[in-house]
Structure 1
Amino acid sequence: MLIDDRLYGEADVEPVLSDLIRSEAVQRLKGVHQGGASFLVHPGWNITRFEHSLGVMLLIRQLGGSLEEQIAGLLHDVSHTAFSHVVDDVFNIENEDYHEQIFATWVSHSAIPEILHTYGFNHEELLDDDRKWTLLERPAPALCADRIDYTLRDSFAYGFANKDEIATFLQTGLTVFAGEICCTSIEAAEWFTDLYYKEVIGFFMNPLNLYGLDTVSSVLKQALEMELISVQDVLKTDDELLAVLKQDSRLHSQLDRLTTAKQHVKQGNPDDFTFHKTLKTRNIDPSVIHQGDKTPASALSENVRRMKERAADKMKKGAFVKVTE
C-alpha cells in the first residue's frame, strides 16, 4: 500500500499496516476531527485523527522505529471519541485522556486483534503499555512522535509554518539518541519550541476554537441529560453525532450559531468577557544533543526559557472570550 502524506511524502507500507489502515476502526478516524469542534467555526481547521495517526506512524518510520512501534503509532488514537477532546470537557476529564481510559476496551471490540494475530502479533503485548514505545510517547516536556506530528501538521495547515521550514526540521533537526527523539541543535530546538507555543496559544486558546469547544460541550451535556444520546454515542463520527443532535430543534439552533462564530466571537479581557476558559497545561523542552549527550534546551537557551515562562503564564491565566449578538 502506497501512502502519500503532506509532510513525509510517499511510503510503501507493510501488509499488516495496510490491513490496519483499511480496517473500519482506523477508517472511522477520517470522521473525527483532531481540533474537536474547531472545524464547525472555521472550515479550514479540519485536520482529522486519521491523517494525524498516519503521520505519527510515518514519523516513527522515518526515525528508524520498529514495525511494532509503527503499528502502535498508527493505532494510538483509534479510540478517540467524536469531537476528540471536547468529550473530555463534557465528562470533566482533567487530563484530557478519556480516549486512553477506554482504549483497551475499544480495541478488544474491533477487528484489530484479529488483524494483528494474522501477522503474528499479540495486540495486548503491542498496545497495552505505550511507555515501551519511547519514540511514540514521552511525558511532557519531552519530544515524541505524537507531539511533533500534531504540532507540525497543524502548523502547516493553519499557517504557522511553511513546508520548507518543516522539511528542513524533519531532515536535519531531529535525531534519536538512547531511544529518545532529540534536536540536533539549539536552533532546531528554539524553532520547534516557538512553533509549539504558537499552536498552544494561537490555536488551542484561540477564542473561536474555545467558543466551538464550549458550545458543543454544552450541547452534548444537554443531549445526555435529555437522553437524546447515550455515552456510547460519543463513539460515532463527528457528522453521525451531529445528525443525532440536530434532531432537537433547540440544540440545532445552538449548533447553527457556530457557522457565524467569526461575526460574534472575539478576544475578551478580565473586565469584559462572556466566559473564561483554561485548558490542560502544555509545555515543551526538547532535549538537544550537546557535547555528546542530551541536554534540555532550556539549560542551553535563554530563548527557550523565556518562551516556556511566557506560555506558562498565559496558560495559567486562561483565555477570556467575548460573544456578541
Structure 2
Amino acid sequence: MKLTDKLYGTVEVEPVLAELVRSKPIQRLKGIHQAGASYLVEETWNVTRYEHSVGVMLLIRRLGGTVEEQVAGLLHDVSHTAFSHVVDTVLNVHNEDYHEHIFEEVVMNSEIPSILNKHGMNVERVFQEEQWTLLEQPAPLLCADRIDYTLRDLSRYGYRSIEDAQQIVRQFRVEDGLIYLDSVQAAERFTEWYYEEVIGFFMNPKNMFANYWMANLLKESLQKGIISRDDFLLEDQEVVEKLLQSNDKSVIQQLRHLQPSSKVVKDEHDYDFHQRLKVRLIDPSILVDGQLVKASQQSVNVKRMGEEARRTFEGGVRVKVVTVPNT
C-alpha cells in the first residue's frame, strides 16, 4: 500500500500498517476534526485525526523508527472522541487526556488486536508508551506528535508554506531515541512555529468560541439525555445530526450559532467568557559537543519565546461574541 502525504511524500508501507490504516477504528478518524468544533465556524480548519495519525506514523518512519513504533504512532489518537479535546471540557478532564483514559478499552474492543496478532505483533506493547521515544515525550521536548500537528496545521491553514514545513522536516535528527534539531537557527524557527500553532491558532478567538460553545452544548445535551457518553465515539457530524434530530429547541438554536458568519473578538474588558488552555511549551534539543542540550541554553530567543508563551497561557483569552446568526 502506498500512502501520499504533503509533508512526507509517497511511502510504501508494510502489510500490517496497510491493514491498520484500512481498519474501521482508523477510518473513523477521518470524521474527527483535530481542532474540535472549529470547522463549523471556519470550514478551512479541517485537518482530521486521520491525517495527523498517518502523518505521525510516516514521520516516525522517516526518523528511523521501527514498524512497531510506527504502529503505535498510527494508533495513538484512535480513541479520540468526537470534537477531540472539547469532550475533555464536557467531562471536566483538566489535563485534556480523556482519550488516553479510554485508549486501551477502545483498542481491545476493536479489530486492531486481531490485525496485530495476524502479523505476529503483541497488542500489549502498543500500551507501553514509555518505549516509544520518538512518538511521545514530556513537554518541552520534541516528539513526532507535536511536530506533526504543528507543521500540518500551519501549512494547511496558510500560516506558513508547505515548502518551509518540508524544510524543517529535513532538519530533524535522532540521538539515543530522542529527536533534536540540527542547528540553533532551526530550533529557533521551530519554536516560533510551535507557538504560532498553540497560541496563534489554538487561542484564536473564533477557535476558542467554537469549542467553548460546543462544550456547553454537549454538556446540556448530555444532561437532557439527548446524547450519551457512548456517542462521543461517533464521528463529529454524526453527533451534530443527533443534536439536530433531538427536536430540543434550545439545543438546536445553540447549534445553529456555530456558523462561519459568527463574529467574535478578543476583548480584555468587555467579554462573554474567559478561558485558559493547557500550558503547551517547547524547548527543542540541539547537539552541542556530542551532547543533547535544550535550545534555551544556547538561544536567548528560544528562552524569551518560552517565557512569553507561559505568560500568555496563564493569562488565557477573553472573548467577546459580537454577532451570531439569526435563528
State whether TM-score is above 0.5.
Answer: yes
Choose which of 167, 170, 174 in structure 1 pairs with 2:172: 174
The one-letter amino acid paired with 1:311 is A
Note the residue ranges of structure 1 that are not aligned, 5 or more in a row.
Answer: none
Return the offset for 1:160: 2.0
Match of residue 144 from structure 2:
145
Q: Secondary structure at the match of 1:11?
A: strand
- For the residue of structure 1 that corresponds to 2:274, the secondary structure is strand
Give SS of 2:94's match: coil
- CA distance in structure 2 between the partners assigned to 1:58 and 1:69 by the alignment: 10
Return the alpha-carbon distance in structure 1 between the equivalents of residues 36 and 303 of structure 2. 30
**Secondary structure of the residue that 2:3 maps to in structure 1?**
strand
Q: Is 1:266 the equivalent of 2:242?
A: no
1:259 counterpart SS class: coil
Question: Residue in 2 aligned with 1:114?
Answer: 114
Deviation at 1:135, TM superposition (A): 0.2
Give 3-state SS (helix, strand or coil) of 1:37's partner.
Answer: helix
Q: Confirm or deny: 8 A CA contact 2:155 2:162 kept in the other structure.
A: yes
Structure-2 separation of matches of 1:182 and 1:188: 10
What's 1:213 paired with?
211
Q: CA deviation at 1:184?
A: 0.7
Structure 1: distance between partners of 2:193 and 2:217: 32
Shift of 1:250: 2.1
Q: CA offsets per residue over residues 164-215 of structure 1, 9 Å max, x none?
A: 21111111x1100111000110011000000000111111111100100111
Residue type at the aligned position of 1:268: D
- 1:147 aligned partner, one-letter code: R
Question: Is the aligned partner of 1:322 residue 2:306?
Answer: no
Aligned-partner SS, 1:84: coil
CA contact (8 A) 1:57 1:73 kept: yes
Query: What residue in structure 2 maps to residue 54 of structure 1?
Result: 54
Contact 2:205 2:265 in 1 (8 A): yes
Say how many residue pairs are matched. 321
Aligned CA distance change for structure 1 residues 105 and 301 (closer, same or farther; 3 Å): same
Partner of 1:155: 154
Q: Report the CA distance between 1:27 and its aligned residue.
A: 0.2
Partner of 1:184: 182
- Measured against aligned partners, the alpha-carbon deviations of 1:118-151 in whole angstroms (never above 9, x if no partner) come to 00011012x1121110000000000000000000
Greater than 3 Å deviation, 4+ residue runs: none
Inter-partner Cα distance in structure 2 for 1:96 and 1:246: 27
Residue in structure 1 matched with residue 103 of structure 2 by the alignment: 103
Aligned runs of 1:127-142 on 2, under 5 Å?
A: 127-142=126-141
Distance (Å, rounded) in 1 between the aligned partners of 2:7 and 2:303: 28
Q: Which residue of 2 aligns with 1:88?
A: 88
Q: TM-score, normalised by structure 2?
A: 0.97
Which residue pairs with 2:291 in the alignment? 293
Q: Give SS of 2:281's match.
A: coil
Which residue identity does 1:76 align to in structure 2? H
- Structure 1 counterpart of 2:147, one-letter code: I
Secondary structure at 1:120's aligned position in 2? coil
Q: How many angstroms apart in 2 are the aligned matches of 1:291 and 1:40?
A: 49
Paired residues for 1:196-211 under 5 Å: 196-211=194-209
- Name the aligned partner's letter for residue 86 of structure 1: V
SS state of the match for residue 324, structure 1?
A: strand
- The residue type paired with residue 82 of structure 1 is A
**1:260 Cα offset (Å):** 4.0
Partner residue in 2 for 1:237: 235
- Distance in 2, Cα, partners of 1:53 & 1:134: 16
- SS for the counterpart of 1:42 is coil
Q: Return the alpha-carbon distance in structure 1 between the equivalents of residues 79 and 261 of structure 2.
A: 29
> How many Å separate the matches in 2 of 1:202 and 1:166?
17
- The answer as to whether partners of 1:279 and 1:318 remain within 8 angstroms in 2 is yes
Q: Which residue type is aligned with residue 141 of structure 2?
A: A
Q: Note the C-alpha offset of 1:261.
A: 4.7
Q: Which letter maps to 2:109?
A: H
Moved more, 253-262 or 274-283: 253-262
Q: Mean Cα displacement is larger for which, 157-166 or 208-217?
A: 157-166
- RMSD over aligned CA atoms reads 0.9
Deviation at 1:256, TM superposition (A): 1.1
| d(CA) in 2 for partners of 1:109, 1:199 | 34
Deviation at 1:87, TM superposition (A): 0.2
- Aligned residue for 1:254? 254
Separation in 1, partners of 2:274, 2:82: 24
Distance 1:233 1:166 in 2: 36
Aligned-pair identity in percent equals 51
Q: Say if 2:43 and 2:260, in contact at 8 Å, map to a contact too.
A: no
The residue number in structure 2 matching 1:312 is 310
Amino acid of the structure 2 residue aligned with 1:167:
Q
Match of 1:224 in 2: 222
SS at match of 1:258: coil
